[in-house]
Amino acid sequence: MIDKVEKIWMDGKLIPWDEANVHILTHTLHYGLGVFEGVRCYKRDDGSSAIFRLDEHSQRLCDSAKIATIPLPWTAKQISEACVQTVRANKLDACYIRPLVFMGDGAMGLAASDNATRMAVIAWRWGAYLGDEALKYGIRAKISSFARPGVNMLMAKGKIVGHYVSSILAKREALNAGYEEAILLDAQGYIAEASGENVFVVKDGTIYTPPLGGSQLGGITRDTVLQLCADLSIPVLERSLCRDELYIADEVFLCGTAAEVTPVRELDDRSIGIGSRGPITEKVQSRFFETLRSSDPSHPEWFTIV
Ligand code: PMP
């Protein structure tokens, strides 16, 4: 359960949490055509709070809406402003922010092109998605029996509500089998991404990650990790990866807004590398958290002070 806060931003106004309700004929509830974001706000060393890469998330929301043919009456700037307002109104210092764009009620046919586009921004306190232990010691993951659809089956560059059914099935399958996360292959059998994270592999001092021209989301944390690796002079290669390359990797880690940078210590019952967080993962992870918490970060352009 998440802890309720005071206000939710809905269609341009901040309203009480308990009043942020929708009609049962809300189109997105029936068919899944909606788009959303997951953003984090961090408390920094000097006590200030800053939203991480807010403008990139707002832009991705606009891009997702474009991919999903959802007319969006808000600009990326207005979406960012709504996020800042929501965090401020709830006096949150560190939180997760969920902008959600959905199709309202009206027509019930599939196209329903004239139904109103609606938007909500919800913020709540959310600690480490996979747990603090996971960040330190790593998680046990499983290659999912569910594959990511091919590049022309679902529009994976959009963060589209309905796409998450396959992520949920994969995540539930992994949890039921005693693992903490699922890694999905693409239609050709190469590594695509985890249920809500991009995948990185370390081998002989080089970091590898699947290229964006595949069936995975263009993660903003993925981009952050790539930039931090450049700062740290760690060589990175974007190329297709197969599952057995992960089995014999020195290190594997996942990254995403919710999961941040989480090591994988075991995959399909095979211990990865030293069977715990590896040194390069630790280096990237430390730089990631230092950057987020520093009031004088190396990439000030990534932060929106609340
Ligand atoms: N892939 C999927 C399927 C996701 O849901 C997410 C989380 N948004 C990611 C990757 C990582 O994206 P980001 O770093 O932008 O949160």
Residues 47-56 pLDDT 10s: 999 999 999 9
> Catalytic: which of 159, 171, 203, 283?
159
Residues 6+ apart with CB under 8 A from 240: 190, 191, 210, 211, 214
Q: Which atom of ligand 1 is nearest to the CA of 57?
A: 15
Ligand 1: which of 166, 257, 262 to mutate, judged by most atoms within 8 Å of the beta carbon?
Answer: 257
Mean pLDDT, the chain, rounded, equals: 97
pLDDT for the residue 130: 84
Residue 24: the pLDDT is 98
**What sign has the CA pseudo-torsion 88, 89, 95, 97?**
negative
Evaluate: CB of 220 within 6 angstroms of ligand 1. yes
194 Cα: distance to centroid of ligand 1 (angstroms): 9
Amino acid 131: pLDDT:
85
Per-residue confidence (pLDDT) for residue 129, from 0 to 100? 84
Helices of type H across the chain: 27-31, 54-67, 76-89, 132-137, 164-176, 220-231, 243-247, 279-293
Give the three-state DSSP class for 260.
Answer: strand
- Structure tokens, 225: 């990790």
Does ligand 1 have an atom closer than 6 angstroms to the CB of 196? Answer: yes
Residue type at position 265: R
Considering only CA atoms, which residue is closest to atom 5 of ligand 1?
Answer: 196
Give CA–CA dist 161/215, Å, rounded.
16
Predicted TM-score (pTM) above 0.95: yes
- Token pair, residue 28, equals 């997105």
> What is the rounded CA–CA span in Å between residue 79 and residue 75?
6
Q: At residue 254, what is the residue type?
A: L
Convert the pLDDT of each residue in 87-124 to its tens digit: 999 999 999 999 999 999 999 999 999 999 999 999 99
Q: How far is the CA of 157 from the centre of ligand 1 (A)?
A: 10
Range 24-47 average pLDDT: 97
CB of 80 within 8 A of CB of 39?
A: no
Nearest CA to ligand 1 atom 7: 196
Q: How far apart are CA 130 and CA 139, in angstroms?
A: 8
Ligand 1, from 184, 197, 253: best to mutate by most atoms within 8 Å of Cβ? 197
> Cα separation of 93 and 49, whole Å?
5
Centre of ligand 1 from the C-alpha of residue 107, in Å: 31
Ligand 1 centre from 183 Cα, in Å? Answer: 13
Residue nearest to atom 13 of ligand 1 (CA): 219
Among 195, 198, 223, 228, say which to mutate for ligand 1: greatest number of ligand atoms within 8 Å of CB.
198
- Would the pLDDT of 295 be above 90? no
If you take atom 10 of ligand 1, which residue's CA is the nearest one? 197
CA distance 289 to 272: 23
Average pLDDT over residues 152-166: 95
Residues 6 or more apart whose CB falls under 8 angstroms from that of 30 comprise 108
**Residue 159 annotated as catalytic:** yes
- Which phi-psi region, left, alpha or beta, contains residue 151 (left: φ > 0; alpha: ψ -120 to 50)? alpha
- Ligand 1 centroid vs 300 CA: distance in angstroms? 22
Q: How far apart are the first and last CA of the chain?
A: 25
Q: Which of 125-134, 148-157, 241-250 has the lowest mean pLDDT?
A: 125-134
Better-predicted residue by pLDDT, 297 or 216: 216
CA of 257 to the centre of ligand 1 (A): 7
